[in-house]
Amino acid sequence: MTDKFRLDGAVALVTGGRRGLGHAFARALASAGARVAISSRSSEECSVAVEAMRADGLEISSVTGDVTSYADVEAMVKDVERLYGPVDVLVNNAGIVEHLPSLDVSPESWRSVLSVNLDGLWYCCQVVGRSMTARNHGVIINIGSISGMIVNRPQWQPAYNASKAAVHQLTRSLAAEWAGHNVRVNALALGYVHTEMSPDPTDPEEIQRWVTDVPMQRMATPGEVAPAVVFLASEASSFMTGSVIVLDGGYTLW
């Protein structure tokens, strides 16, 4: 049974993989036997992350590219193919968030969030999807958010919420369209995860909303949500496509 969770020989690409959630996803996939490439706009920071994981005996490399540039995405995928071969598992993790009330969101701010969280994810899906559908093989995992299902409080983040709702629906659309090509597309809707990028909730209202309001009374760690990516990437989830799995400590139960 445990063999179903193995990814031996599979080629995986994790965008935004140099730290935080992406780093944890890459480490988990490599630990399951995958050959992993992480991407970032910064080759130097990617190299640091790669060396740390290689020191643990994991097969991992880095590629450089900006997911908001279609040409960069095409070049990035070709780099992965030169390193390891065609991508079998794509994890669309790159994303940004800005906390601003609706009336304070500038056109530039709106475009910035949507260009990374939605356009970049779409570019990666389409470029990798061409190869996957041609080979009748592949798995795409999109990192969504509970922000695509509810409205977060006390912070306002309309652009981020809209982008993640779109990610969930795009996941379903691609899953339906590519199922006949044996390409599975699923998403993870994550709740609050404590990473180096997440704010330290010292404001009483933020503590109430981000921690106390969670039935499990805490934030997640990257390491405890990463195994869900392995599950979705592996044969253990072979009959699952178009699903949006919620990992939020029960936050959306209220």
Where in the sequence numbering do the catalytic residues fall? 160
Query: What Cα–Cα distance (Å) separates residue 200 from each residue in 21, 190, 196, 219?
Result: 16, 18, 9, 11
Rounded distance between C-alpha atoms, residue 116 and residue 224, angstroms:
25
3-state SS, 57-89, equals CCCEEEEECCCCCHHHHHHHHHHHHHHCCCCCE
Cβ atoms within 10 Å of 41's Cβ, excluding its own: 16
- Cα torsion 126, 89, 144, 117 to 10°: value is -40
Backbone torsion region of residue 61, taken as left when φ is above 0, otherwise alpha when ψ lies between -120 and 50, otherwise beta:
beta
Q: Which of 26, 35, 47 is nearest to 8 (CA)?
A: 35
Rounded distance between C-alpha atoms, residue 157 and residue 128, angstroms:
30
Altogether, the residues listed in the chain come to a count of 254
Identity of the amino acid at 13: L
Contact 29, 14 (CB under 8 A): yes
